[in-house]
Amino acid sequence: MFNKNLPLRTTLVAAATMGLWLGGCTVGPNFHPPQVAMPKHWSGGNTTGTTTASTHPATVAATQPAAKPQSIITTKRAHLATWWTNFHDPELTALIQQAATRNLTILQAQVAIRQARYARDIAAANLGPFVSANASYQRSGTSNNLTKAGGTRSTGNMFQSGLNGSWELDIFGGVKRSVEAANDNLAAADENSHTVMITLLSEVATDYITLRGVQQQLFVARTNIHLQQQTVTLTRRQFQNGLNTELALADAESQLATTESQIAPLQTQQQQLIYALSVLLGQPPAALERELSTPRPIPPVPPSVPIGLPAQLLLRRPDVRTAESQLAAATAEIGVATAELYPTFVINGNLGFSSQSAANWFDSNSLNWGIGPSVSWAIFSSGQIESTIHQNEAIRDEYYLAYRQSVLTALQQVDSAIAAYTHEQEHEKALQAAVKASQQATKLSLELYKAGLTDFLNVLQAQQSLYAAQNSLVLSKLALSNDLVSLYQALGGGWHR
């Protein structure tokens, strides 16, 4: 107990010193980042060999495909903060930069960080003292029935003001653990905002690349429509001159109509992609219609794609780091619950003035004060505290398993993206050969048909094969660029650490 003869300042200093000395004890387990065995190499494809990739075509499929340079996946250290610049498409870069600052989902994630920061500050405030001020005035009178016989009612004033304070000494570290958990939750919110950013930027790139692919499909369709219109004109002229059958004319017109029917769905898809991109940039759906309606080529893949080693993935993937922060917060909550097993020490104090007259309300004779510690201890809780500790331990174990799952998922996504990217390049290479062969077959069949050396059915089949091959080549180029976006996303690219 504090000596009442000690000055107030000396008493407060002594109490604070005792609290700081005792506060070195922190109950509960300390967090240590989990050790996860990472593979030495990626297994999704040959990251040291070479594969064939597409280049940036001025047009697609209408001319014979040219030789393409190689796109190599290497394990060199990756710099992925601005991976979209590897496509060398200024419009894509501009869209991503706008989305990063205007997208409403990103803004929501940033607000969540602010909430977590204030929650941390609220928890940290419990480490310091709380002081409240009060003032009151009361005029009162006693009951006549409570006075002695013949007595009179007494009335009087009461003027009071002062400060009340309390300071819980965090002797066993329960408050420190709660601050630790709040800091970890803040870190998780920050990492989650990076995850949202990565997802957003990948979605913008995917929608933009898909939009350019649809525009190239429209180009292919219109090119083939022009070719098939010439065939219909030729067949009609031959039919009118008695050199061909009505069936041949009907087949030619049917093929033309079928190809023309592809235009409207592609135009619908183009509009929907433009609307989606506008909303991703936090704008009304039609805001980018004029800007994006002009057809442009599919952004090409770069000649080299450095992706680093698997061990570097834990540093780049914000979702893995989110899982780690959540595990750390859950570990700290065990300490918060464990502190309930121990006594709670609080220093209470008050300083004020009390008087019956306003004239001498703040005189030294009106001063009153008090200071002293209080202790509370839940010595019996029917097992509630112990159960809470065990519950938090189970939550910690759940987050540990979630962390391990996030690592495995990250590895799976990277390996899958590597495999898709590698195999799609082989697919595109085969389609380039198919387009070349189809163009030659179409040219020869039409020449032989004009010379009367082959049946018209061969012309139709050649043109159908050409359109199918050209369209498939566009889809392959589209898939290849989108596979690279998926690879960058899986690697955790698109934010700064």
Domain residue ranges in the chain: 1-28+349-376, 31-135+176-342+388-490
- Structure tokens that stand for 311 in this block: 């061990």
Residue 98 CA to chain centroid, in angstroms? Answer: 16
pLDDT tens for the chain, 497 residues long, are: 334 444 434 444 444 445 444 445 789 999 999 999 999 999 876 665 333 333 333 343 333 444 455 688 998 888 889 999 999 999 999 999 999 999 999 999 999 999 999 999 999 999 999 999 999 999 888 777 766 655 666 788 899 999 999 999 999 999 999 999 999 999 999 999 999 999 999 999 999 999 999 999 999 999 999 999 999 999 999 899 988 889 999 999 999 999 999 999 999 999 999 999 999 999 999 999 999 999 999 999 999 999 999 998 888 899 999 999 999 999 999 999 999 999 999 999 999 999 988 888 888 888 999 999 999 999 988 999 999 999 999 999 999 999 999 999 999 999 999 999 999 999 999 999 999 999 999 999 999 988 888 888 999 999 999 999 999 999 999 999 999 999 999 999 987 65
| Lookup result for tokens 């041949």 | 248
Q: What is the predicted pLDDT for the residue at 231?
A: 93
Half-sphere exposure of 167 (CA within 13 A, CB side): 20
Q: What is the predicted pLDDT for the residue at 54?
A: 36
Nearest to 484 by CA among 309, 306, 319: 306
Whether 353 contacts 162, CB under 8 Å? yes
Q: Which contacts of 411-416 are long-range, i.e. CB under 8 A and separated by 24 or more positions?
A: 411/38, 411/39, 411/310, 411/313, 413/486, 413/489, 413/490, 414/42, 414/44, 414/307, 414/310, 414/313, 414/487, 414/490, 414/491, 415/42, 415/43, 415/44, 415/45, 416/44, 416/490
Dihedrals φ, ψ of 141, to 5°?
Answer: -135, 145
| Lookup result for tokens 């050649």 | 462
The total of other beta-carbon atoms located within 10 Å of residue 170's CB is: 24
Q: What is the predicted pLDDT for the residue at 153?
A: 66
Looking at 3.40.50.150, 3.40.50.620, 1.20.1600.10, 3.40.605.10, the CATH number of the domain 31-135+176-342+388-490 comes to 1.20.1600.10
Q: What is the predicted pLDDT for the residue at 43?
A: 86
Whether 461 contacts 438, CB under 8 Å? no
Q: Which residues of 436-449 are buried (b: 16+ CB within 10 A; e: fewer)?
A: eebbebbeebbeeb
- The four Cα atoms 268, 272, 274, 277 give a dihedral, to 10 degrees, of -160
Half-sphere exposure of 47 (CA within 13 A, CB side): 21
Write out the E strands in 323-421. 344-355, 367-376
Q: Which residues of 368-404 are buried (b: 16+ CB within 10 A; e: fewer)?
A: eeebebeeeeeeeeeeebeebbeebbebbeebbeebe
* pTM confidence score: 0.84
